[in-house]
């Protein structure tokens, strides 16, 4: 029978919940001789490889859910992706050999409490460790990034133009502003600032030589010049909008 507040060590690993009685130095064999205590082993069904991939893909598509999981907050849909059934009680064993000892039940209750407070362990128990989960997610993200390749002048310039037009997404801008504590309406002092940049004719615009830094980019000077002109144009447009407001 399990004694009240009887100390034991609990561990959760892929496919198993293990628990063993804390070692006592008191023994009939004499002082200083460690006494072997009881040990409980409870097996759990593991995720299939397809199941692990499915969970990795789901978290890859929901970065905030991944962040929350790492902060011990499980998404509501996680349980639906785990294998049906809980532990395998008929295969759970306790080494004490006493019928109705209560060790298995006590370990199960303690393990369930730990799994609720640390939901990432629920995946570990089913065979999907933290490292493997992150590997799945990062692999999914990496596959969404187009491979780098050398392109013709027109194609490279076109991509750079489109990238320049797009800029950071509103979500990225808001996240960065919130992180820096700048997510607020500018004060009155902001509108008192006046800027009068001196325009430089395009034919007089001096561009540093980027050839050595970007040897594989064809017509690099033309590309850099185009980016510079577009950045200057956007700055000019924003300045005009500020003056009009």
The per-residue pLDDT for range 164-221, each reduced to its tens digit, is 555 555 555 555 665 565 655 555 555 555 656 565 555 556 777 767 766 666 676 7
Q: How many domains does the chain have?
A: 2
| 88 within 8 A of 45, measured Cβ to Cβ | yes
The predicted-structure confidence for 59-108, as pLDDT tens digits, reads as follows 999 988 989 998 999 898 988 888 765 556 678 889 888 887 889 889 99
The pLDDT confidence band at residue 1, using thresholds 50, 70 and 90, is: low
Residue 20's domain spans which residues? Answer: 8-143
**pLDDT given for residue 40 in this prediction:** 92
Picking from 114, 143, 172, the residue at the C-terminal end of a domain is: 143
- The answer on 135 and 43 residing in a single domain is yes
CB atoms < 10 A from the CB of 86, how many? Answer: 12
Q: Which residues contact 137 (CB under 8 A, 6 or more apart)?
A: 56, 59, 60, 66
| Residues 22, 125 share a domain | yes
101 contacts 38 by C-beta, under 8 angstroms: yes
Helix (H) or strand (E) holding 17: strand 16-21
Q: By mean pLDDT, which of 38-52, 112-126, 207-221 is the weakest?
A: 207-221
Q: Give the pLDDT band of residue 20 (cuts 50, 70, 90).
A: very high
One domain, residues 16 and 135: yes
Instruction: Give the CA distances from residue 198 to residues 23, 32, 79, 232, 236, in Å, rounded to whole numbers and listed in that order.
Output: 80, 86, 61, 11, 11
Tell me the pLDDT tens digit for each residue of 126-177.
999 999 999 888 888 888 766 554 444 556 556 555 655 555 555 555 556 6
83 and 121 assigned to the same domain: yes
pTM of the model: 0.54
Q: Per the domain annotation, does 73 fall within a domain?
A: yes
> pLDDT higher for 233 or 78?
78
Asked, for residue 162, whether it belongs to a domain, the answer is: yes
Q: HSE (CB half, 13 Å, CA atoms) of 151?
A: 13
As a whole number of angstroms, the distance between CA 111 and CA 103 comes to: 12
For residue 233, the model assigns a pLDDT of 76
Q: Are residue 118 and residue 192 in the same domain, yes or no?
A: no
* Domain end (from 143, 164, 183): 143
């Amino acid at each position: 029978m399990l004694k009240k507040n009887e100390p034991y060590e609990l561990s959760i690993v892929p496919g198993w919940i293990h628990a063993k009685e804390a070692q006592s130095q008191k023994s009939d064999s004499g002082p200083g001789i460690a006494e072997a205590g009881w040990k409980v082993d409870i097996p759990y069904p593991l995720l299939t490889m397809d199941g692990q991939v499915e969970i990795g893909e789901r978290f890859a598509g929901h970065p905030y859910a991944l962040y929350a999981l790492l902060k011990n907050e499980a998404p509501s849909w996680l349980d639906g992706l785990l294998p049906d059934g809980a532990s395998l009680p008929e295969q759970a064993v306790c080494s004490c050999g006493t019928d109705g000892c209560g060790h298995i039940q006590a370990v199960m209750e303690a393990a369930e409490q730990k799994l609720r407070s640390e939901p990432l362990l629920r995946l570990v128990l089913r065979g999907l460790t933290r490292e493997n989960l992150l590997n799945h997610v990062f692999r999914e993200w990496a596959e969404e990034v187009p491979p780098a390749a050398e392109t013709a002048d027109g194609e490279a310039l076109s991509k750079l133009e489109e990238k320049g037009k797009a800029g950071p997404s509103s979500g990225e801008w808001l996240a960065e502003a919130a992180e820096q504590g700048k997510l607020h309406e500018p004060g009155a002092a902001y509108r008192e600032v006046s800027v009068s940049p001196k325009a430089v004719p395009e034919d007089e615009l001096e561009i540093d030589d980027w050839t050595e830094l970007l040897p594989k980019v064809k017509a690099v000077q033309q590309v850099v010049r185009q980016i510079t002109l577009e950045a200057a144009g956007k700055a000019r447009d924003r300045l005009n909008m500020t003056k009009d407001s």
